[in-house]
Structure 1
Amino acid sequence: MLDKKAKGVFTIAATPFLPDGALDFDSLDRMVDAYIERGATGLTILGMMGEAGKLEADESIAVVRKVISRSRVPVVVGVSSPGFAAMTALAKQSMDAGAAGVMVAPPGNLRTDAQIIAYFQNTAEFLGDIPFVLQDFPLATSVQISPSVILKIVEDCPTCVMLKHEDWPGLEKITALRRASDAGSRRISILCGNGGMYLLEEMLRGADGAMTGFGYPEMMARVIDAFTAGDLNRARDIFDAYMPMVRYEAQPGLGLAIRKYTLAKQGVIAHPTLRKPGAALSAESISEIDAIAARQERRLEDLGLKPFS
């Protein structure tokens, strides 16, 4: 079961589709293997970048069962939903299938601190003893959650064991939360998102690792391994080698198309298909991605690191 001690890299998994938009289960198996080979200590599926909102209910649970049956590491399932009935149903089915926990983002209609706190109190009540991750992603949800509100949720909801931190900018939030836990508040795991764009700084501020996706998912593990070994300069050098692609993939509205293209180019998934509606890459974008990837490969070789392919 997921708990407050979770750390490392929980890779946010893409959802592979065939060219006609059907689920690609063969690619799903290959992708799970690749993520683990590249350093994932956990997997998170059916997140926002996993196109969860484009799946039917039976497709969602089919993906959950397939991934869990294949994975050798804990699996967290995104169960965010406007209503608690759908959330609870998917959460219970996921846990029955062997999930380690679930992830919940607040709906976009929450505006006040009291509304946010009440929502997660209700979430904890409906989920019962299922451990959950609070996803704090205001760029996508438009819900601003302050450190004091997070601390109140953590105090009121013992089953909230992790914060998926992807506020932007949000480094001061990590510092505030860690100072509070040092002063006696319940400490929970903090894993960070945003494609790893601020990963080094987040680790320096007290994060326990990453819960995010990227077209080259080994980046997070390589950076964290160097950081954990105390070699900050090497961690920076590795991060710098990947940074141009991290930056390029961070384009709002286009990032998932870029990620799926690079995963397909490496053979991790068979097709870069996004389910409609979804962005398409132009010839110019593909040329830019290929140029960045080639330069990234050369920089990794200079560091004595082999690219996966």
Structure 2
Amino acid sequence: MFRGSMVALVTPMLDDESVDFASLEKLVEFHIEAGTDAIVAVGTTGESATLDMEEHCAVVKFVVDKVNKRIPVIAGTGANSTSEAIQLTQCAKDAGADACLLVTPYYNKPTQEGLYLHHKKVAEAVDIPQILYNVPGRTACDMLPETVIRLSKIKNIVGIKEATGDISRIAKIKAGVSEDFDLYTGDDASAVDFILAGGHGGISVTANVAPKACHEIYKAALAGDAETARRLDAPLAALHRDLFVESNPIPVKWALAEMGLIGHAIRLPLTPLSANAQPVVRAAMQQAGIL
């Protein structure tokens, strides 16, 4: 349904921790000019866990309105409460989002059957394309390929963001889903290999700071041009790694602030990038040609 480099957009904030809508508009234009293929608003990189319902819906609506159909907008609407996920997904549909991205319920560690019933209920409640999101390193909950295959039979569940970094999962999932079910990577470091192995794109943290490069890398990989994709990706290797030197989105928000695109604010319980980590991220940015 969607292809290429999709940015997991940060949510910029002012010093009082309120949403900085002026900088958010600047980010939207930055990505459209750079060739980003789609924007994910208020995903987990967008601090969805600490935005309240009103803020969450307001940010999605703002991004949809500012993008104005120039590229697709995917709204992060996952929650560990099924009823809250339904509310957020309905809000995204009402705002005009093109699709929703739903992270697996975090902390409460549902069974595979619980995961199936959770996503099934959301999909049946809100008629909008929905993308599953599996990131067990953050949620303590791993959606197995068998569950993905079961959920793919529901008409408006159209794909998955698979962020385990396990390339072997592509074949396992593809073996049981239809050809129009999309697979996106959430692991920047293995994105090229993921796409070359049959993936359709990625929802990227790195694309926040290197959108042009990510667009070209994913474009080459989708075309099957492994040599070009790997050559373009090589300077970003340190960035893929070091944007996670502290919990995401701490490093990437600091990097964007260094680029003059947003301020340094982040919402508690997350804290600004530590002094020890700042030279690490700066060096990765320099290697990537950003600074």
Q: How many residues align?
A: 286
Deviation at 1:233, TM superposition (A): 1.6
Code of the aligned partner of 1:88: I
- Percent identity, aligned pairs only, is 24
**Which piece of structure 1 moves more, 200-209 or 138-147?**
138-147
* 2:238 counterpart of 1:238: no
Q: Counterpart of 1:73?
A: 71
Structure 2 Cα separation of the partners of residues 103 and 295 of structure 1: 31
* C-alpha distance after superposition, 1:160-204 (max 9, x if no partner): 011111124x211112222334xxx4541111112x110111011
Q: Which amino acid aligns with 1:6?
A: F
C-alpha contact 2:236 2:284 (8 A) present in aligned 1: no
Q: 1:83-111 deviations in whole A, cap 9, x for unaligned?
A: 33332222222212211111112213344
Instruction: Render the CA deviation track for 1:139-162: whole Å, top value 9, x for unaligned.
Output: 11111222111111112x111011
For 1:1-80, what aligned pairs fall within 5 Å after superposition? Answer: 5-71=1-67, 72-80=70-78
TM-score (norm 2): 0.91
CA contact (8 A) 1:101 1:130 kept: yes
Residue aligned with 2:40, SS: strand
For 1:247-272, what per-residue CA distance to the aligned partner results, in whole angstroms no more than 9, with x for missing partners? 1112352x322101111222222x02
Partner in structure 1 of residue 204 of structure 2: 212
- Whether 2:241 is the aligned partner of 1:286: answer no
- Structure 1 residues 56-105: Cα deviation after superposition (integer angstroms, max 9, x where no partner): 22211211111111112111111112333332222222212211111112
State the Cα distance separating 1:112 from its structure 2 match. Answer: 2.7
Kindly tell me: are residues 130 and 295 of structure 1, through their superposed partners in 2, closer, same or farther at Cα, counting changes over 3 Å? closer
1:159 equivalenced with 2:195 (yes/no): no
Q: How far does residue 229 in structure 1 lie from its aligned partner after superposition?
A: 4.3
Could you say what secondary structure the match of 1:122 adopts?
helix
User: Whole-Å Cα distance in 2 between the matches of residues 37 and 133 of structure 1?
Assistant: 25
Q: Compared with structure 1, are the counterparts of its residues 105 and 288 closer, same or farther at alpha carbon in structure 2 (3 Å cutoff)?
A: closer
Aligned pair partner of 2:287 in 275, 278, 295: 295
Cα drift, residue 294 of structure 1: 2.2
- 1:268 equivalent to 2:261? Answer yes
* Distance (whole Å) between structure 2 residues aligned to residue 186 and residue 238 of structure 1: 28
Give runs of aligned pairs for residues 111-130 of structure 1, distance below 5 A: 111-127=110-126, 129-130=127-128
Q: Deviations over 1:5-63 (max 9, x none)?
A: 32112211100001221211110000011122222111111111111121122211211
Distance 1:24 1:164 in 2: 27
CA-based RMSD of the aligned residues comes to 1.9
In structure 2, how many angstroms separate the alpha carbons of the residues matched to 1:137 and 1:174? 15
> Does the 8 A contact of 1:105 with 1:134 survive in 2?
yes
In structure 2, how many angstroms separate the alpha carbons of the residues matched to 1:160 and 1:136?
A: 14
2: CA distance between counterparts of 1:36 and 1:73?
A: 7
Between 1:30-39 and 1:229-238, the stretch displaced more is 229-238
Which residue does the alignment assign to 1:88?
86
Q: Aligned to 2:204, what secondary structure does the other structure show?
A: coil
Quickly say closer, same or farther: Cα 1:65–1:293, change in 2 above 3 A.
Answer: same
TM-score (norm 1): 0.86
Q: Where do 5+ consecutive residues of structure 1 fail to align?
A: 298-306
C-alpha displacement at 1:120, in angstroms? Answer: 1.8
Cα distance in structure 2, aligned partners of 1:65 and 1:207: 29
Verify: 1:136 aligned to 2:134, yes or no.
yes
**Residue segments in structure 2 that go unaligned for 5+ positions in a row:** none
Question: 3-state SS of the aligned residue for 2:78?
Answer: coil
* Cα distance in structure 1, aligned partners of 2:179 and 2:219: 26
Q: Any idea what SS the aligned residue of 1:80 has?
A: coil
**1: CA distance between counterparts of 2:168 and 2:49?**
31
Separation in 2, partners of 1:283, 1:114: 44
